[in-house]
Structure 1
Amino acid sequence: MTGARTDELSRLAELHGVAVSYSPAPDRTVTVPASAVTAALHALGVDAATPEAVRAALADRERALRERLLPPTVVHWAGDPHDPAALTALPPGTRVRVETEQGEEREAEVPGQGDVDLPGPGDADAPGPGPEAGAGRGQEPYPARATLVAGLPLGVHRITAHAPDGRTGHAHLVVAPDRLPAPPGRSYGLLVQLYSLLSRRSWGMGDLGDLAELAGWAGRVAGAGFVQVNPLHSAVPGAPTDPSPYRPSSRRFPDPVHLRVEDVPEYAYAEDRERLAGLLERAARLRAAVLDKGALIDRDAVWELKREALETVLAVPLGPGRQAAYDAFRAAHGQALDDHATYCALAESYGPDWTTWPGGLRDPRSGATARARAEHADRVAFHTRLAWLTDGQLRAAQRAAREAGMPVGIVHDLAVGVHPTGADAWAQQDVFAAGMTVGAPPDAFNARGQDWGLPPWRPDRLAACGYAPYRDLLRALFRYAGALRIDHVMGLFRLWWVPEGSPPTEGTYVHYDAEAMLAVLALEAGRAGAVVIGEDLGTVAPGVRETLQRRGVLGTSVLWFERDWTGDGRPLPPERWRADCLATATTHDLPPTAARLTGDHVELRDRLGLLTRPAAEERAEAVADAAEWLALLGSLGLVDSTATGPPGTDEEAEVRAVHRFLLRTPARLIGVWLPDGVGDRRPQNLPGTWDEYPNWRLPVADRSGRAVPLEELTSAPRLRALLEVFAQLRGG
Structure 2
Amino acid sequence: MNNRDLVDRARHAGLSMRWRDSAGQIHRVSNESVRRLLAVLEGHGGPAAAGLPPMVVTMVGQVTPLVLPENTQAADFRIEMETGEVMEGPLRRIRGRPALPPLRVCGYHRVSIGPHATTLAVAPQACPTVGTRMDGAGSGRPWGLGAQVYSLRTPGDGGMGHLGAVATLARLAAARGADALAISPVHAMFAARVGQYSPYSPSTRLFLNVLLADPLAVFDTATVQAAGLRNGKAYVDTVRMLEDAPLIDWPQAATRRYELLRRLYDERIVPNPPAELAQFRTIHGAALEQHAVFETLHAYFTTRGGRGGDWRQWPLAMRRPDSPEVARFAYEFAHDVSFHVFVQWLAARSMEQACGAARAAGMRIGLVADMAVGVDPTGSECWARQQEFLVGASIGAPPDALSPVGQDWGLTTFSPAGLQVGGYRAFIDTVRAGLAHGGGLRIDHVMALERLWIIPQGGTSAEGAYLSFPVRDLMRLVALEAARANAIVIGEDLGTVTASFRAVAQKHGIMGMNVLFFERTPQGAFKPPGAWSTNATAMTTTHDLPTVAGWWQGTDIDWRVKLGQMAPGVDGVTLNDERENDRTALWAAMMAQRDAPTPAARTMRRKSPATKPPATADGAAKVVDEAIGFVARASCPLAVIPVEDLLGLNEQPNLPGTTTGHPNWRRRYPGMTATLLSGVAARRRFGRLRAGRSS
Normalising by structure 1, we get a TM-score of 0.84
Q: 2:439 aligns with which of 482, 496, 513?
A: 482
* Match in the other structure for 2:554: 599
Say if 2:153 is the partner of 1:172: no
* Pairs within 5 Å for 1:108-123: 108-111=89-92
1:74 pairs with 2:56? yes
User: 1:431 Cα deviation (Å)?
Assistant: 1.0
Give SS of 2:448's match: helix
Q: Could you tell me which of 257, 261, 264 is aligned with 2:215?
A: 261
1:42 aligns with 2:39: yes
Asked if residue 657 in structure 1 is aligned to residue 626 in structure 2, the reply is: yes
Structural mapping, 1:250-289, within 5 Å: 250-265=204-219, 274-279=226-231, 285-286=237-238, 288-289=240-241
Question: In the alignment, which residue of structure 2 is the partner of 1:518?
Answer: 475
- In structure 1, what is the Cα distance between the partners aligned to 2:436 and 2:93? 46
CA RMSD of the aligned region, Å? 3.3
Q: 1:36-66 CA deviation, whole Å, 9 max, x = no partner?
A: 322232212269xxxxxxxxxxxx99xx79x
User: Helix, strand or coil for the counterpart of 1:666?
Assistant: coil
Q: Is the 8 A contact 2:633 2:692 kept in 1?
A: no
Q: Hey, what's the Cα distance between the residues in 1 that align with 2:18 and 2:149?
A: 40
Give how far 1:618 is off: 1.2
> What amino acid sits opposite 2:398 in the alignment?
P
After TM superposition, the structure 1 = structure 2 runs for residues 82-231 of structure 1, keeping only pairs within 5 Å, are: 82-84=63-65, 86=67, 94-101=75-82, 105-111=86-92, 148-151=101-104, 153-162=105-114, 170-183=117-130, 184-185=133-134, 186-220=141-175, 222-231=176-185
Q: Deviations over 1:655-674 (max 9, x none)?
A: 11111111221111111111
Residue 731 of structure 1: how far off its partner (Å): 9.4
Relative to 1, partners in 2 of residues 1:368 and 1:668: Cα closer, same or farther, differing over 3 Å? Answer: same
What is the CA–CA distance in structure 2 between the aligned matches of 1:731 and 1:290, rounded to whole Å? Answer: 42
Task: Measure the CA separation in 2 of the matches of 1:643 and 1:26.
Answer: 37
Partner of 1:588, secondary structure, is coil
For residues 285 and 698 of structure 1, what CA distance do their matches in structure 2 show? Answer: 21
Is 1:447 the counterpart of 2:404? The answer is yes
Which whole-Å CA distance do the structure 2 matches of 1:174 and 1:439 have between them? 31
Q: Distance in 2 between matches of 1:411 and 1:561?
A: 22
Kept in 2, the 8 Å contact 1:74–1:172? The answer is yes
Aligned to 2:603: none
One-letter code of the match for 2:35? T
Q: Would you say 1:670 and 2:670 are equivalent positions?
A: no
Instruction: Note if contact 2:443-2:491 (Cα within 8 Å) is conserved in structure 1.
Output: yes
1:402 aligned to 2:359? yes
Counterparts of 2:694 and 2:422 in 1: how far apart (Å)? 44
1:722 aligned partner: 685
TM-score relative to the length of structure 2: 0.88
2:426 matched residue in structure 1: 469
Distance 1:286 1:412, change over 3 A: farther
The CA deviation string for residues 589-642 of structure 1, in whole angstroms up to 9 with x for no partner, is: 111110111222212222222234222111101111121111111222369x99
User: Secondary structure of 1:708's partner?
Assistant: coil
- Residue 23 of structure 1 pairs with residue 20 of structure 2: yes
Change (3 A) 1:282 1:35: same
**Among residues 429, 444, 463, which one is paired with 1:506 in the alignment?**
463
Distance 1:288 1:377, change over 3 A: closer
Pick one of 510, 513, 525 that aligns with 1:553.
510
| Mapped contact 1:261–1:306 kept (Cα < 8 A) | no
- Structure 1 residue 300 displacement after superposition: 2.6
Kindly tell me: are residues 384 and 142 of structure 1, through their superposed partners in 2, closer, same or farther at Cα, counting changes over 3 Å? same
Q: Structure 2: which amino acid aligns with 1:198? A: R
In terms of Rg, which structure is larger?
A: 1
8 Å Cα contact 1:69-1:161 kept in structure 2: no
Q: Is the 8 A contact 1:92 1:110 kept in 2?
A: no
* 1:6 is the counterpart of 2:17: no
Distance 1:22 1:614 in 2: 29
Aligned to 1:493: 450
Matches within 5 A, 1:337-352: 337-351=288-302, 352=309
Distance in 2 (alpha carbons) for counterparts of 1:444 and 1:172 = 45
CA contact (8 A) 1:438 1:454 kept: yes
> Which amino acid in structure 2 is aligned with residue 650 of structure 1?
G
2-side partners of 1:635 and 1:112: how far apart?
A: 59
Cα 1:370–1:229, aligned 2, differ >3 Å: closer, same or farther?
A: same
* Cα distance in 1 between the residues matched to 2:189 and 2:386: 18
Deviations 1:237-283 (A, max 9, x none): 3244212111111111001111222332377668xx75433559767
**Aligned pair 1:245/2:193, yes or no?**
no
CA distance in structure 1 between the aligned counterparts of 2:684 and 2:69, rounded to whole angstroms:
60
SS across alignment from 2:64: coil
Which residue identity is paired with 1:181?
P
1:291-310 pair list within 5 angstroms: 292-294=244-246, 296-310=247-261
Tell me which amino acid in the other structure corresponds to 1:22. W
Distance in 1, matches of 2:8 and 2:299, equals: 47
Q: SS of the residue aligned with 1:726?
A: helix
Partner Cα distance (1:282, 1:77) in 2: 60
Q: In structure 2, what residue type is equivalent to 1:671?
A: V
Partner residue of 1:431 out of 355, 378, 388? 388
Map of 1:680-699 to 2, 5 A cutoff? 680-699=649-668
Native 8 Å contact 1:269 1:316 kept in 2: no
Go from structure 1 to structure 2 and tell me whether the alpha carbon gap of 1:329 and 1:709 turns closer, same or farther (over 3 Å shift): same
- CA shift, 1:111, in A, is 4.6
AA matched with 1:592: T
Stretch of structure 1 that moved more, 90-99 or 720-729: 90-99
Q: Which structure carries more relative contact order (alpha carbon 8 Å, separation 6+)?
A: 2
Distance 1:309 1:214 in 2: 24
Q: Which moved more, 1:512-521 or 1:387-396?
A: 512-521
Decide which moves more: 369-378 or 23-32: 23-32
More displaced 10-residue stretch of structure 1: 435-444 or 415-424 = 435-444
Q: Which of 241, 257, 265 is the aligned partner of 1:314?
A: 265
| CA pair 561-686 structure 1, distance change in 2 beyond 3 A | same
- Tell me if the contact between 1:90 and 1:110 (Cα under 8 Å) persists in the aligned partners: no
1:571 — aligned with what? 526
Matched to 1:226, the amino acid is A
Distance in 2 (CA, whole Å) between partners of 1:93 and 1:475 is 35
CA contact (8 A) 2:171 2:361 kept: yes
Cα–Cα, structure 1 residues 169 and 26, in superposed 2: closer, same or farther, change >3 Å? farther
Residues 157 and 465 of structure 1: CA distance in aligned 2, closer, same or farther (over 3 Å):
farther
Aligned residue identity for 1:618 = L
AA aligned to 1:39 is R
Which region of structure 1 is more displaced relative to structure 2, 83-92 or 206-215?
A: 83-92
Mapped to 2, the partners of 1:398 and 1:33 lie a distance apart of: 49
- The answer to whether 1:534 aligns with 2:491 is yes
Deviation at 1:12, TM superposition (A): 2.5
Distance in 2 (alpha carbons) for counterparts of 1:370 and 1:97 = 39
CA distance in 2, matches of 1:225, 1:378: 42
Secondary structure, aligned partner of 1:636: helix
Question: More displaced, 185-194 or 707-716?
Answer: 707-716
Indicate the SS of the match to 2:21: strand
What secondary structure is seen at the aligned counterpart in 2 of 1:98?
Answer: strand
TM-superposed CA distance for 1:680, in Å, is 1.6
Output the CA distance in 2 between the equivalents of 1:197 and 1:173.
Answer: 43
For 2:207, what is the secondary structure of its paired residue? strand
- 2:306 matched residue in structure 1: none
Q: Residue 74 of structure 1 aligns to which amino acid in structure 2?
A: V
Structure 2 residue runs without a partner (length 5+) = 135-140, 303-308, 597-608
8 Å CA contact 2:583–2:613 kept in 1: the answer is no
Change (3 A) 1:511 1:147: closer
Q: Return the offset for 1:93.
A: 5.7
Aligned length: 667
